[in-house]
Amino acid sequence: MTDRYAVIGNPVGHSLSPRIHAHFATATGEDLTYRTLPADAFGVAAEGFFEAGGRGLNVTLPFKLDAFVWVAERGGGRGAARAAGAVNTIAVSREGAHGYNTDGVGLLRDLEHNLGVGISGRRVLVLGAGGAVQGVLGPLLDAGPHRLTVANRTVSKAERLAAAFAGVEASGLPDLDTDYDVIINGTSAGVAGGRPPIEAAGVQDAFCYDMFYTLEGETPFCRWCGECGAARTADGLGMLIEQAAESFFLWRGVRPPTRGLAQSLRA
């Protein structure tokens, strides 16, 4: 029987995940369907999906925290999800529901494998201190940066993350150092067409990565960094694809090919 998967969120109609997973299924010959699952309340919708035989869910905004609690109540909050405090992937087995967070793995695989940007020994700055950033700090630390700073408009949120993740430094945006090799925008400023307000001098000669992405042109952060003399810029479409590949692997035990998919989604 064809196995059923979905991405749950609100709104979720714009999600690229069905296209990405359809590509993975075709490439690997796995028999599955993957659709969007719009929901007002996470628990009710997830319960209904799994009771009807669904095998796995991806979880997007605004439900990653709800999913973490939901899975933990079923005894399955574990692995990367625990440090991330958020779940973006749920798999069910006979033992129950298991929660994972594949965002950090996706970011690292895009940076290190696809883009050739090593984190080990580098000075890394992450902008923003919301759920998206919290989800990737564990894997970033594991990659062995020389320095990892979280800078946020509301400095208390950066300080909270620094207290929770040993090895992370906190900063506000105005008092930021300018000596970083890799700068990662994890704020949601791009959603409203903006970018975090940092000094242009800071991005000069740095590799600048935007966890936000756009299919057409450049994100506001990437465009601005390029104008300020960044060595290179990239947006988060590759991260989206790689976190999806990791979910697919968790569900199916098969690693799907990702090469060339970003270009075909943009085309």
| 122/195 with CB nearer ligand ATR | 195
From 227, 226, 181, select the one nearest 207 (Cα to Cα): 181
Amino acid at 98: H
Is residue 157 annotated as part of the catalytic site, yes or no?
A: no
Query: Rounded CA gap, 56 and 247, in Å?
Result: 9
Query: Rounded CA gap, 258 and 166, in Å?
Result: 33
| 64/98 with CB nearer ligand ATR | 64
| 182/189 with CB nearer ligand ATR | 189
Query: Which residue number places its CB atom closest to ligand ATR?
Result: 130
Least spacing, CB of residue 93 vs ligand ATR, in Å: 28
Query: Rounded CA gap, 153 and 170, in Å?
Result: 11
Least spacing, CB of residue 203 vs ligand ATR, in Å: 15
Least spacing, CB of residue 192 vs ligand ATR, in Å: 7
Least spacing, CB of residue 95 vs ligand ATR, in Å: 29
Catalytic residue among 21, 55, 64, 252: 64
What residue ranges bind ligand ATR (CB under 6 A)?
A: 128-133, 152-154, 157, 187-189, 194, 196
Give CA torsion, residues 214, 192, 82, 41, to 10 deg: -100
| 30/169 with CB nearer ligand ATR | 169
The answer to whether the CB of 175 falls within 8 A of the CB of 149 is: no
Query: Rounded CA gap, 250 and 239, in Å?
Result: 16
Residues in Cβ contact with 157 at an 8 Å cutoff, skipping those fewer than 6 apart? 129, 130
The answer to whether the CB of 221 falls within 8 A of the CB of 185 is: yes
Q: Which residues are catalytic?
A: 64
